[in-house]
Amino acid sequence: DAQVLGTLSDQGTLGWTIRKLHSLKYFGPIQRGFIEMAAGWALFLVITGLYLWWPRGRKAGVVTVRGTPRQRVYWRDLHAVTGLVVAIGLVFLAITGMPWSVFWGAKANELANGHNFGYPAGVRVQFPMSGHVLMDSTNLPWTLQRTQVPGKATESPHAMHGEEMPVEHQHDASLSSYEAHLPKQLDLDALMLHVQHLNLAPGYTVTPPRGAQGVFTASVYPHDLDKQRVVHIDQFTGQPLLDMSYADYGLLGKWLEWGINVHLGQEFGVANQLLLILVCAGIVLLYVSGALMWIKRRPAKGMGVPPLPKQRKAIAGVVVILAIGGLLFPLVGLSLAFMLLMDSVVIKYSGL
């Protein structure tokens, strides 16, 4: 009988809350910048960790764990071996999470959107305009007959063609006359009939147009990437203006979508989710073993900060690596500069 039995906001579920917490969208762009820093530093830690793990002729503690939990060497080896196993997963999660970041992600999306090697023009940027023309709805002067709608209300209709307007048609082609002849937008029921004929995968979303120049957008992002699809629909006629699927994306666009799908645990089903759980458990073990290594190493009355290496070339190499990383991930470079500043202040005034 069409009686509403209950309602639930799509932003009121536990899953939605966890996803927003994970991306820090709850807290604004500044806090999301810290996530970008964390992801960048995760990549740095993997690179430096692999350097420290490198055998250099050693056999013990490379792929095996020595000693007992009471000994520092046990936690050192456990940290190294665990890092070796989860390094690829950690790098993958950091990189595939970057599209949501504030600075690096925005630049990556800017590069990917509107280019054939990513998401071709029309999918997410440079939406097509309506294919409907004014002559389809009324009798108009020849200068207006091929004008598409929606047109730009701030421009003269003739400016689109670069043609002079005949004097006898000036009154007919006035802006008020132009707007009066615009067709009406489809209502929701008529629109959904057009959408149903597109045969999109279940779970699709229809987004209404923004203003007179907008288009209806039907999109679906299912677990099966092959069924991913974006369709822009003329808001007046209901005809598809653009219809693209995963197969139409460029190499970068396909890689981004595949990486995000794996990051979300959707690409390989339960196996994908179990693998991510193991990687996350390994990351937690890295944190715990690293903290215990520091506790067992540090002096009773000190922080246990290691001295600078005697080989200046080693310092120069590290500086070069950090400088390159800081350029690739500017927020990481900013955090590094801040830490160097704080380090110098602490050393200067604490006598360390």
Structural domain span for residue 142 = 132-180
Q: Is residue 171 part of a domain?
A: yes
Q: Is residue 226 part of a domain?
A: no
- Rounded to two decimals, the pTM is 0.75
CA–CA distances in Å: residue 43 to residues 40, 115, 218, 230: 5, 28, 37, 33
Distance between CA atoms of 206 and 232, rounded to whole angstroms? Answer: 10
Q: Quick one: how far is CA 150 from the chain centroid?
A: 31
Q: Which helix (H) or strand (E) holds 201?
A: none
| Per-residue pLDDT tens digits of the chain, which is 352 residues long | 889 999 887 777 888 888 888 877 777 888 888 888 888 888 888 988 888 898 888 888 889 999 999 998 999 999 999 999 999 999 999 999 888 788 888 888 888 998 889 999 988 888 887 665 544 444 444 444 444 444 333 333 333 333 333 433 444 444 455 555 567 888 989 999 999 999 999 989 998 887 777 889 999 999 999 999 999 999 988 999 999 999 999 999 999 999 999 999 999 999 999 999 999 999 999 999 999 988 888 887 777 777 777 777 777 877 888 888 888 888 889 998 998 899 888 877 776 5
Query: Do residues 79 and 289 make contact, with C-beta atoms less than 8 angstroms apart?
Result: yes
Residues sharing a CB contact under 8 Å with residue 211, sequence separation 6 or more, in sequence order: 150
User: Domain tally for the chain?
Assistant: 1
Q: Is residue 235 part of a domain?
A: no
Q: Is residue 23 part of a domain?
A: no
Distance between CA atoms of 194 and 235, rounded to whole angstroms? Answer: 11
Helix 251-263 to helix 104-112 angle (10° resolution) is 140
Nearest to 218 by CA among 209, 230, 227: 230
Q: Is residue 309 part of a domain?
A: no
Q: Is residue 193 part of a domain?
A: no
Sign of CA dihedral 124, 276, 280, 41: negative
